[in-house]
Amino acid sequence: MKTHVLQHAWFEGLGSIATWLAAQNAALSYSRFFENPALPEPHDLDLVIAMGGPMSVNDEAALPWLHDEKRFIREAISHGVPVLGVCLGAQLIASALGARIFPNRQKEIGWFPLEAVPSVGDAFRFPDKLTAFHWHGETYDLPPDAVHLARSAACENQAFQFGRRTIGLQFHLETSPAVVRAFAENCGNELHPAPFTQSEAELTAAPASRYTENNAVMTCVLDYLTAKQSACRFQAFPESTARSGSI
């Protein structure tokens, strides 16, 4: 499996995604934009993963490689390559598909509940309730023809699907204790008291079971995107609710 990773910050790695890729014997390549913004041709890839980062997708004047990255994502989607976006990566997908990216009404930093949005057809379905790790200040409108998958109290558009092979996640299912510590060490200046911003102590106090649950859902997302066999029961609604459409 030829997998290309779009990495925007040295401290935001793949987390549990790396374990899943190793199990697939994936051949990994990277565009590490903090070192070199070179991009491959997307048409012969089997999977593209766009990770998070502290910049905005609207920073093209200061970071001109964002324009090329969005074009790359758009071309990968048009070629039918599975594309997963995490946090900034989800915003990049949304922007590449023509949606608006803008500041959320408040930052969402910490462990907060998600709610699955009912959909139809064979769109991916999240667990009805899931407490996930968040670290974002911006959000996005849903791209045209996208399916809304999840919301939270702080942010309406937490996840979406475009077609059968593109999913954007505003939150971090790949997280691990090391990932959380890296966020806190490198972005701790954002941890100001607010309704949806937790303290560093709260961020790092999550039980091991929470990481296990989040990582298991990430595995389900990756299995779904790449059409792997999966035991996830929450992926789709019963066939009787299906309708025709782009999904």
Whether 187 is catalytic: no
Whether 156 is catalytic: no
Tokens matching residue 151: 């919301």
Residue 238 phi, psi (nearest 5):
-55, 150
Q: What are the C-alpha distances in Å from 146 to residues 61, 81, 169? A: 28, 16, 13
Catalytic residue among 12, 87, 108, 134: 87
Alpha carbons 3 and 18: distance in angstroms, whole number: 11
Catalytic residue among 4, 8, 136, 172: 172
**Biggest alpha carbon distance in the chain?**
50
Alpha carbons 128 and 126: distance in angstroms, whole number: 6
| Contact call for residues 182 and 145 (beta carbons, < 8 A) | no
| Contact call for residues 104 and 138 (beta carbons, < 8 A) | yes
Beta strands in 63-186 (DSSP E): 83-86, 101-116, 129-140, 147-151, 159-162, 166-169
Catalytic residue among 4, 136, 174, 220: 174
Whether 172 is catalytic: yes
Catalytic residue numbers, as ranges: 87, 172, 174
